[in-house]
Amino acid sequence: MPRFPTALDAAMRLRPDQPVYCFRPGVLAADIRAFRAAFRGKTAYAVKTNGEPMVLAVLAAEGVDSFDVASPAEFDAVRAAAPGAELLYMHPVKAQSDIRLALESYGIRTLALDHEDEVAKILRVVRAMDIDPGEITLYVRLATKSEAAYELSKKFGAAPGHAAELAQRIDGIGFRVGLAFHVGSQVEDPDAYDQALAIAAAVRRRAGVPIAGLDIGGGFPARYGREPGRKAPLPPPTEALLDEIQREVVEFGFGDVPLIAEPGRVIVARAFSVIVRVLLKKGQRVYINDGVWGSLSDSWTGKIPLPVRLMPDPARRRRTGNPAKIEPFRVCGATCDSVDILSRPFYLPESVDTGDWIEIGHIGAYSLGLRTHFNGFYPDTFVEVDEAFDLETADGLAEPAVSAG
Ligand SMILES: *Cc1c(COP(=O)(O)O)cnc(C)c1O
């Protein structure tokens, strides 16, 4: 992979007409280290967030030995990067054949579920393979409520009464019982974890069975751009959020229970940016060579404002507009599809023009894995970059510097 000191160097040297991903292994290493230092339990990286081999390799080199996986392709990706790592199969609804593969070929002994039929599927394989159920921990996924950018309890999770019954059923068979929740993604309100812990404590009381582990899921927020004038407070820094959650874990009586977290976004968001080119500027719109069907769908569906920095093309002689004046530009994607328009504008200097480049920062999460070949476009060029994307100096980020802690 070609390597550059900064993304600007990459843009000026390559003058790319295709999107170029800037991977920052040093930033990824720093972010996983910071998370693990602040979290006292087991950190299982959520592979769906970004399962690229280059990402898994850095995490494995940093000593990450647990991964949250959801499919045979993810089992394989982790095996290739970290052969000895533990796989936690935390998808609540699995194909029978995938459960068999997980238990038989990958040695998986930790799974999640939210329904008795899933218990039956797992039990079928356990009986057929003659495994002692006591070797297996089944995590009951709890339904929770939150106001995350993505609210995932709409899809998964057992209500408290049902969860308690499931826990008793699982315990009765001889499996070890865990409790799990995942409050959503980009969860900016720490109360979401508080409420989920309250539910977990209630389910534990009601079930009255030994609890072998508590999995607090992912959802820890990464930092992105900000709409000018936005009133809501910034999400807390990861260390402060984890401190608060771990205090609440003890308050809710789980101080003696082994903890698991499944962070995704907060680990990998900062590790990538993408350099895109302005194919056309038309009034207050920019047409770029990436979009919703490329690497930017997370911003679209999650309504996440992305931090950007203009890299003007020095070959352009004549410009109009004030380079010091920041304006919102509607962002139209590369495909012919009329829904391929971002739900949030880019805040860019008024002087942005056709042929310029824009570096979009913090797009490591839910970008590469969600690219499609739609309309014949597929961004797939990578460079390595040393210097982090500097959020504080990004264009139009009317964001006050935050103090850590
Ligand atoms: C997607 C997912 C995660 C990771 O979520 P982030 O918001 O990226 O931290 C963790 N756990 C489960 C069960 C998930 O589905």
pLDDT digits (tens, 9 = 90+) for 42-70: 999 999 999 999 999 999 999 999 999 99
336 given a catalytic annotation:
yes
CA–CA distances in Å: residue 340 to residues 105, 177, 257, 377: 41, 44, 46, 13
Which burial class, exposed, middle or buried, applies to 249 when counting CB atoms under 10 A from its CB (0-12, 13-18, 19+)? buried
Give pLDDT, residue 150: 62
The residues with which 21 forms a beta bridge, in sequence order, are: 274, 382
Give the percent of the chain with pLDDT over 90. 89
Given a cut of 50, whether residue 197 has pLDDT beyond it is yes
Given a cut of 60, whether residue 403 has pLDDT beyond it is no
Phi, psi of 43 (to 5 degrees): -100, 115
Which one, of 313, 324, 315, 326, lies nearest residue 357 by Cα? Answer: 313
Q: Sorting pLDDT into bands at 50, 70 and 90, what band is 368?
A: very high
In the CATH scheme, what is the code of domain 25-268?
3.20.20.10
CB 222 within 8 A of CB 265: yes
CB 347 within 8 A of CB 307: no
Q: Sorting pLDDT into bands at 50, 70 and 90, what band is 402?
A: very low
Given a cut of 70, whether residue 153 has pLDDT beyond it is no
Q: Sorting pLDDT into bands at 50, 70 and 90, what band is 72?
A: very high
pLDDT digits (tens, 9 = 90+) for 223-255: 999 877 777 778 889 999 999 999 999 999 999
pLDDT digits (tens, 9 = 90+) for 22-40: 999 999 999 999 999 999 9
Per-residue pLDDT, averaged over 380-384, amounts to 98
Give pLDDT, residue 188: 85
73, 159, 280, 336: the active-site residue: 336
Give pLDDT, residue 231: 73
The residues with which 111 forms a beta bridge, in sequence order, are: 89, 138
Strands (E), 143-297: 176-180, 213-215, 259-261, 272-282, 285-288
Which one, of 356, 238, 235, lies nearest residue 286 by Cα? Answer: 356
pLDDT digits (tens, 9 = 90+) for 335-359: 999 999 999 999 999 999 999 999 9
List the chain domain ranges.
3-21+270-385, 25-268
Give pLDDT, residue 149: 61
What is the number of the ligand 1 atom nearest to the C-alpha of 185?
A: 7
Residues with CB under 6 Å of ligand 1 are 46, 48-49, 68, 90, 182, 185, 217-220, 262-266, 365
* Angstrom distance (rounded) from CA 197 to CA 203: 10
CA of 200 to the centre of ligand 1 (A): 18
Give pLDDT, residue 22: 98
Q: Report which protein residue has its CA nearest ligand 1's atom 10.
A: 218
Per-residue pLDDT, averaged over 350-370, amounts to 98
CATH 2.40.37.10 assigned to domain 3-21+270-385? The reply is yes
Two tokens, residue 163: 């969860």
Question: Among 56-70, 74-88, 386-400, which stretch is predicted with the lowest mean pLDDT?
Answer: 386-400
What amino acid is encoded at 255 in this protein? G
Question: Among 7-16, 317-326, 358-367, which stretch is predicted with the lowest mean pLDDT?
Answer: 317-326
Give pLDDT, residue 398: 47
pLDDT digits (tens, 9 = 90+) for 163-196: 999 999 999 999 999 999 999 999 988 899 999 9
CA of 342 to the centre of ligand 1 (A): 23
CA of 114 to the centre of ligand 1 (A): 16
Beta strands 381-385; 308-311: pairing state: unpaired
Given a cut of 70, whether residue 381 has pLDDT beyond it is yes
Alpha helices in 39-115 (DSSP H): 53-61, 72-81, 96-105
CA angle 151, 24, 385 (to 5 degrees): 135
Q: Sorting pLDDT into bands at 50, 70 and 90, what band is 161?
A: very high
pLDDT digits (tens, 9 = 90+) for 247-288: 999 999 999 999 999 999 999 999 999 999 999 999 999 999
Helix/strand/coil for 94: coil
CA of 193 to the centre of ligand 1 (A): 14
Given a cut of 70, whether residue 300 has pLDDT beyond it is yes
Two tokens, residue 210: 């030994």
**Average pLDDT over the chain, rounded to an integer:** 94
What is the number of the ligand 1 atom nearest to the C-alpha of 265?
A: 8
